[in-house]
């Protein structure tokens, strides 16, 4: 709101504004410390005085009750546990409003009932005061860093007036009248809930597939599965650090409010319902005081597995990988690449490419611009015309491509296509010279990747499975996350080619690249469910969905999926960066692999069914962001 703030904000400054604060838990302590450091005078109440001691040591004053806080304050902030607590400390018989002077302002930052926010605003107005509902997102780290996303509801002029105080805590976003801040925060929680389901399901799948989970998390962080939840909680889960930045108990409370509001609205959000039940299962095991990242425990129990056994290796390797990446931006393997990579360059390496669809065209263009000679095969020649105009040669078949290439890349639709173009009767391997390399970048069956690697080895060649993540934008920008499986020396050798396309991550032997990509798709699937459910909820609650998306982008609900698809959904742009049909294929492979592993991933199963519903409506050739259509139909 900074660009539209009026001169009324000039009256709010540390010299003439006394602040009261009720609740100094995990979030509140850090938030108060920012205000004290900014020079504001604080009077604090919390039920357990010891929790406030660090703030008292910084100069804050302690009050015996909310009444006492308000009697010496111009603005009273509260961030407590439950709606009942909000009611008690603000408008109850001993609540702050009873002693707040006319013109005073109540600011509740608890995630609470929208209807209660409206009630508080009405009660404050009747006493000549104002009230703002301003719940926050960003977790304990956002509170510590002063980078919270703040969802503000109430009189806009009041919110502008107190913006200098909000600016000490994070970024304020005006969402509308009383209660709208709460509605926005609840939509945010809906999005986070399914994102967390996707994160932990992807981790369990990666573990069960024999991947190093630390390397897997590092690999997906730069692609379409990246999210603030991954940034906040990925390492903590690996380190078995379940200390609460945000309590499970409080998250269950938030999701329970969402469930009740959905019932009141007549709104069905199956991803929310599933996440709510999974988090309740943590409470059933006495884990309500752990942090929300403890959701991994529910999935581990469900599947009789534990990631704890790999704790030491994953955290060490993840730390090492990040150190290497600090020195080598897009070359996570660069520090260990041997001199044989010197033989790979545009002057002596001929590249073949099979498949020039949405992703393939952009990827080929990067290689041509880097100076590589390309021979291309695609079933529809017109799709390759832009590349032919850039100097690529067209071949009549995969056999012809391979006969004039040192490395043959493929990125096609389905496993059956991969088999046909690489090892079928007219496949590339049949004419590839000994020493040649096949690189399949399609998302496909891990077992097929192993079969192709074996067939290539028998002919004196090599094969790498290297599916990618990052969507059409990642392909266009050359910033794809590449999950590579196969002989590590071969992958190192061809890294200069991968570097034209994005960041390569070595995941292990043949098939491991595919397993990593499938885990990535599991994570994306539930993240997309959370994104569109949050948008539908925000719309039903009467919010401006564009403002809502902008608000959550800086908090804990932020994700690459939001960045890639939020605006496209708003603009009803369902053009495929990645086809629904192909995503259903990917999730179907995941489902089958889970069945083979004896692995239950309910979030994956739900997302798979929702995407299949798009196919049932003839929408398989739309982009994955078209998932919003399934939720719109479900809710009329």
pLDDT of residue 383 exceeding 90, the answer is no
- What beta strand segments (E) does 71-125 contain? 75-78, 105-108
> How many residues does this entry show for the chain?
636
* pLDDT of 322 over the 50 cut: no
Q: In terms of Cα–Cα distance, which of 262, 300, 257 is closest to 281?
A: 300
pLDDT of residue 324: 32
End-to-end CA distance of the chain: 34
CA-based nearest residue to 276, from 246, 244, 254, 301: 254
Tokens of 156: 């806009």
C-beta separation of 51 from 81 below 8 A = no
Helix (H, G, I), strand (E, B) or coil at 369: helix
The catalytic residue positions are: 185
Beta bridge partners of 108: 78, 133
Q: 342 pLDDT band (50/70/90 cuts)?
A: low
C-beta contacts of 421-427 below 8 A and 24+ residues apart: 421/354, 421/355, 421/377, 422/398, 422/452, 422/463, 423/451, 423/452, 423/455, 426/397, 426/398, 426/399, 427/398, 427/399
Strand-strand pairing, 148-153 and 136-137? antiparallel
User: For 411-434, what is the mean pLDDT?
Assistant: 97
CA distance 36 to 21: 11
Distances 69 to 22, 34, 122, 129, 389 between C-alpha atoms, Å: 8, 19, 21, 15, 73
Identify the CA nearest to 426 among candidates 400, 459, 455, 394.
400
Question: pLDDT by residue (tens digit) across 46-91?
Answer: 998 988 999 999 999 999 999 999 999 999 999 999 999 999 999 9
Instruction: Please tell me the predicted confidence (pLDDT) of residue 133.
Output: 99
- Calculate the CA 517 to chain-centre distance: 16
Query: Which residues lie closer than 8 Å to 458 by C-beta, 6 or more apart?
Result: none
- Predicted confidence at residue 309, as pLDDT, reads 60
Residue in this structure with the two tokens 């105080």, named with its chain if needed: 165
Domains 18-178 and 180-249+280-305+344-526+554-576 in one fold: yes
How confident is the model over 259-288, as pLDDT tens digits? 999 999 999 999 999 999 999 999 999 999
Q: Is the pLDDT of residue 326 over 60?
A: no
CATH architecture of 18-178: 3-Layer(aba) Sandwich (3.40)
Q: How many helices (H) and strands (E) does the chain have?
A: 29, 18
- Token code pair at residue 80: 């407590």
The Cα 163–Cα 9 span in angstroms is: 7
pLDDT for res 358: 86
CA angle (227, 232, 234) in 5-degree steps: 80
Q: Where are the alpha helices (DSSP H) in 155-179?
A: 156-161, 163-166
Q: How confident is the model at residue 317 (pLDDT cuts 50, 70, 90)?
A: very low
Q: Does residue 316 register a pLDDT over 60?
A: no
The confidence score (pLDDT) of residue 554 equals: 87
Q: What is the mean pLDDT of residues 528-554?
A: 97
pTM for this model (two decimals)? 0.91
- Is the pLDDT reported for residue 120 higher than 80? yes
Q: How is residue 487 annotated by DSSP? A: -
Distance (Å, rounded) from C-alpha 406 to C-alpha 246? Answer: 53
Would the pLDDT of 464 be above 70? yes
**Quick one: CATH architecture of 180-249+280-305+344-526+554-576?**
3-Layer(aba) Sandwich (3.40)
Q: Which of 360, 336, 355, 350 is nearest to 506 (CA)?
A: 336
Mean pLDDT over residues 13-20, rounded? 96
Domain assignments of the chain as residue spans, ordered by start? 18-178, 180-249+280-305+344-526+554-576
The tokens describing 88, both together, are: 């008690």
More confident residue, 495 or 7: 495
Determine whether 147 is exposed, middle or buried from the number of CB atoms within 10 Å of its CB (0-12, 13-18, 19+): middle
Tens digit of each residue's pLDDT (9 = 90 or more) over 560-582: 999 999 999 999 999 998 999 99
Please report the sign of the dihedral spanned by the C-alpha atoms of residue 93, residue 96, residue 99, residue 103.
negative
Residue 109: closest CA among 37, 34, 38, 13: 34
Quickly list DSSP for 255-303. HHHHHHHHHHHT---HHHHHHHHHHHHHHHTT-TTSBGGGHHHHHHHHH
Looking at 136-140, 270-274, 533-537, 584-588, which range is the least confident one? 136-140
Q: Does the pLDDT of residue 9 top 60, yes or no?
A: no
Mean pLDDT score across all residues of the chain: 93
- Which pLDDT value is given to residue 201? 98
């Amino acid at each position: 709101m900074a660009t539209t703030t009026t001169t009324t904000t000039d009256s709010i400054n540390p010299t003439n504004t006394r602040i009261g604060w009720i609740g100094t838990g995990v979030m509140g302590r850090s938030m108060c410390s920012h205000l004290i450091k900014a020079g504001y005078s604080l009077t604090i109440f919390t039920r357990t005085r010891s929790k406030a001691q660090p703030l008292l040591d910084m100069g804050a004053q302690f009050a015996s009750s909310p009444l006492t806080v308000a009697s010496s304050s111009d603005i009273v902030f509260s961030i407590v546990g439950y709606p009942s607590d909000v009611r008690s400390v603000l408008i109850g018989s001993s609540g702050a409003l009873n002693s707040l002077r006319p013109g005073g302002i109540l600011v509740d930052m608890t995630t609470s009932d929208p209807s209660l926010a409206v009630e508080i605003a009405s009660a404050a107005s009747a006493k000549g005061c104002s009230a703002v509902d301003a719940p926050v997102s960003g977790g304990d780290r956002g509170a510590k860093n002063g980078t919270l996303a703040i969802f503000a509801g109430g009189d806009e002029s009041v919110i502008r007036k107190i913006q200098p105080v909000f600016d000490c805590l994070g970024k304020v976003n005006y969402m509308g009248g009383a209660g709208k801040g709460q509605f926005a925060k609840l939509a945010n929680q809906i999005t986070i809930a399914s994102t967390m389901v996707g994160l932990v399901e992807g981790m369990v799948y990666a573990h069960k597939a024999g991947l190093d989970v630390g390397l897997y998390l590092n690999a997906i962080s730069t692609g379409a599965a990246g999210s603030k939840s991954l940034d906040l909680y990925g390492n903590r889960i690996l380190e078995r650090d379940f200390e609460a930045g945000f309590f499970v108990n409080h998250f269950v409370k938030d999701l329970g409010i969402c469930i009740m509001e959905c019932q009141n609205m007549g709104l069905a959000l199956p991803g929310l319902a599933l996440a709510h039940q999974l988090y309740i299962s943590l409470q059933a095991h006495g884990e309500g005081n752990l942090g929300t990242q403890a959701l991994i425990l529910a999935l581990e129990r469900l599947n009789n597995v534990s990631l704890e056994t790999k704790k030491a290796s994953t955290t060490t390797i993840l730390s090492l990988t990040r150190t290497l990446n600090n020195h080598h931006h897009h070359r996570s393997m660069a520090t260990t690449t041997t001199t044989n990579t010197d033989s790979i360059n545009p002057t002596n390496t001929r590249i073949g490419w099979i498949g020039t669809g949405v992703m393939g065209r952009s990827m080929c263009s990067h290689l041509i611009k880097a100076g590589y000679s390309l021979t291309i095969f695609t079933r529809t020649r017109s799709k390759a015309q832009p590349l032919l105009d850039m100097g690529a040669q067209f071949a009549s078949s995969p056999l012809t491509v391979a006969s004039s290439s040192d490395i043959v890349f493929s990125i096609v639709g389905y496993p059956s296509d991969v088999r046909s173009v690489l090892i079928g009767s007219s496949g590339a391997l049949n004419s590839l010279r000994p020493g040649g390399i096949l690189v399949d970048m399609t998302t496909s069956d891990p077992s097929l990747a192993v079969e192709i690697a074996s067939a290539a080895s028998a002919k004196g060649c090599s094969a790498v499975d290297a599916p990618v993540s990052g969507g059409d934008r990642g392909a266009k920008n050359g910033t794809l996350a590449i999950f590579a499986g196969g002989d590590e020396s071969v992958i190192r050798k061809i890294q200069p080619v991968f570097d034209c396309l994005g960041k390569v991550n070595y995941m292990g032997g043949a098939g491991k690249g595919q397993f990593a990509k499938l885990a990535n798709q599991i994570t994306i699937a539930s993240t997309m469910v959370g994104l569109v459910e949050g948008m539908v909820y925000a719309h039903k609650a009467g919010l401006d969905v564009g403002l809502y998306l902008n608000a959550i982008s800086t908090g804990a609900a932020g994700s690459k999926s939001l960045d890639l698809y939020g605006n496209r959904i708003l603009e009803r742009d369902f053009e495929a960066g990645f086809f629904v049909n192909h995503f259903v294929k990917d999730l179907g492979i995941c489902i089958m692999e889970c069945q083979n592993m004896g692995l239950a991933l309910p979030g994956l199963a739900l997302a798979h069914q929702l995407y299949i519903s798009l196919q049932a409506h003839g929408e398989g050739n739309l982009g994955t962001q078209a998932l919003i259509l399934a939720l719109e139909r479900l809710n009329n």
